[in-house]
């Protein structure tokens, strides 16, 4: 499960906190991912590309969670 708390302004992520039933290796990667998403438009394709690039660049491992799982959680949070 991925939980998203975010602030949105002009259809862009202004601030975001990701939490839930997952862990990242290395452990200090989560704040870096959150920083990567700040300023991103609420566009499924753009978010997917950013997350995939982040996974590739950092070599982060998130057992059981793929980039698309984060995208889905972010888009659902944006609907509320």
Tens-place pLDDT, residues 9-63: 999 999 999 999 999 999 899 999 999 999 999 999 999 999 999 999 999 999 9
Q: What is the mean pLDDT of residues 55-77?
A: 96
Instruction: Give the start-to-end residue ranges of the domains of the chain.
Output: 2-79
What is the pLDDT at residue 80? Answer: 72
Task: State yes or no: pLDDT of 1 exceeds 90.
Answer: no
Burial 6-27 (b: 16+ CB within 10 A, else e): beeeeeebeebebeeebebeee
Q: What is the pTM of this model?
A: 0.92
Tell me the β-bridge partners of 61: 25
Say yes or no: domain 2-79 is CATH 3.80.10.10.
no
The torsion defined by the Cα of 10, 45, 67 and 22, in degrees rounded to 10, comes to: 30
């Amino acid at each position: 499960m991925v939980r998203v708390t975010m602030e949105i302004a002009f259809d862009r992520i202004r601030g975001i906190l990701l939490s839930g039933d997952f862990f990242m290796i290395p452990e200090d990667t989560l704040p870096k991912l959150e920083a990567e998403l700040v300023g991103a438009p609420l566009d499924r394709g753009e978010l997917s590309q950013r997350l995939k690039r982040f996974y590739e660049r950092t070599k982060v491992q998130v057992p059981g969670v793929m980039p698309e799982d984060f995208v889905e959680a972010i888009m659902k949070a944006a609907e509320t």
